[in-house]
């Protein structure tokens, strides 16, 4: 006997959690991101890569509602968000970890986590179960933590809000590569265990590709590459061409494989 899933159950499991449709972003009349489209399923990690100044932070800030979109819609679980309303976006489960981490540096680790909890069910002890290194530092002021610990706290604090969509802007900012290597698998784990969609802006390209499902490369406000991350990880020349703005070579060279040592 063949047991088939009911049609509506299939539709639910297949429907994307996070959809961006024709999003344009910028400042006043200046357009920075010309168009951003995304459909992301629960538990997926999307790496948004690209050279300095290509518009990555502008994009994340806009998706979080902190900067009103110039055009387009952002939808969570089928419901469009109100443009430029970060509080509503946060209540709908969209949480941004900004590149400056925005911690309360004069408050302890404990206090930072409690302040983020709001009415959510997640407890501070659950946060410490996930990040045991922070548990040992719970009475220390956030400002006195190491850079890696601060980043861990920024992510732990975001998770207190039980995100459906977690936007992480340059987790590696100011951190030694060895610390970034330790932190990056945490991103994969969060997506797998919580089912959140994670959109990760990152300069450590290869490390980001190791944990991402899909990678998008933003150059001068345009997505010039959009591929499975494991595929792009093997295409270093394509990636380099895209970063240099040579979109034609990037697209033409998509079959090239990276050296085995990569």
Ligand X SMILES: Nc1ncnc2c1ncn2[C@@H]1O[C@H](COP(=O)(O)OP(=O)(O)OP(=O)(O)O)[C@@H](O)[C@H]1O
Is there binding between residue 24 and ligand X (CB under 6 A)? no
Say which residue the tokens 């986590």 belong to: 113
When the beta carbons of 27 and 146 are compared against ligand X, the nearer one is: 27
Determine which residue in the list 44, 54, 70, 194 makes contact with ligand X, applying CB under 6 A. 54
- Give the single-character DSSP code of 153: H
Determine which residue in the list 9, 10, 27, 73 makes contact with ligand X, applying CB under 6 A. 27
Reference 46, options 228, 246, 231; nearest CA is: 228
Q: How far is the CB of 226 from ligand X (least distance, A)?
A: 16
Rounded CA-CA distance 164/17 in Å is 8
Residues in 164-223 at the binding interface with ligand X, rule: CB under 6 A: none
Alpha helices in 53-140 (DSSP H): 56-63, 86-91, 109-117, 124-130, 132-135
- Sheet containing 222-228, strands listed edge to edge, beginning at the edge strand earlier in sequence: 79-80, 71-76, 18-27, 30-40, 222-228, 214-219, 45-49, 197-201, 165-169, 94-97
Is there binding between residue 58 and ligand X (CB under 6 A)? yes
Is there binding between residue 32 and ligand X (CB under 6 A)? yes
Q: How far is the CB of 101 from ligand X (least distance, A)?
A: 14
Residues in 105-124 at the binding interface with ligand X, rule: CB under 6 A: none
Helix (H) or strand (E) holding 182: helix 177-194
Binding part of the chain for ligand X, among 49-57, 88-96, 151-159, 248-256 by CB under 6 A, reads 49-57
Binding part of the chain for ligand X, among 51-59, 86-94, 138-146, 184-192 by CB under 6 A, reads 51-59
Binding part of the chain for ligand X, among 47-55, 76-84, 137-145, 243-251 by CB under 6 A, reads 47-55
Is there binding between residue 56 and ligand X (CB under 6 A)? yes
Is there binding between residue 2 and ligand X (CB under 6 A)? no
When the beta carbons of 17 and 33 are compared against ligand X, the nearer one is: 33
SS3 51: coil
Rounded CA-CA distance 109/16 in Å is 34
CB 182 within 8 A of CB 148: yes
Residues that bind ligand X (CB under 6 A): 27, 32, 50, 52-58
């Amino acid at each position: 006997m063949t047991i088939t899933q009911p049609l509506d159950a299939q539709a639910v499991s297949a429907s994307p959690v996070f959809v961006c449709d024709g999003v344009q972003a910028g400042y006043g009349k200046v357009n920075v991101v010309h168009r951003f489209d995304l459909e992301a399923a629960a538990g997926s990690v999307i790496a948004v890569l690209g050279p300095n100044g290509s518009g990555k932070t502008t994009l994340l800030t806009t998706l979080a509602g902190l900067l009103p979109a110039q055009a387009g819609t952002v939808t969570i679980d089928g419901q469009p968000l109100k443009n430029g309303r970060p509080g509503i976006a946060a209540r709908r489960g969209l949480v941004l970890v900004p590149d400056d981490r925005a911690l309360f540096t004069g408050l302890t680790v404990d206090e930072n986590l409690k302040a983020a909890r709001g009415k959510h069910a997640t407890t501070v002890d659950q946060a410490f179960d996930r990040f045991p290194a922070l548990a040992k530092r719970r009475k220390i002021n956030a400002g006195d933590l190491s850079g890696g610990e601060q980043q861990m706290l920024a992510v732990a604090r975001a998770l207190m809000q039980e995100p459906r969509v977690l936007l992480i802007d340059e987790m590696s900012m100011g951190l030694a590569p060895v610390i970034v290597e330790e932190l990056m698998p945490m991103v994969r784990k969060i997506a797998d265990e919580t089912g959140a969609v994670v959109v990760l802006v990152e300069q450590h390209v290869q490390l980001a590709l190791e944990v991402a499902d899909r990678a998008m490369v933003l150059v001068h406000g345009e997505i010039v590459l959009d591929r499975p991350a494991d595929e792009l990880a093997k295409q270093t020349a394509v990636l380099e061409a895209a970063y240099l703005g040579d979109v034609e070579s990037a697209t033409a060279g998509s079959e090239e494989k990276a050296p085995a040592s990569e």
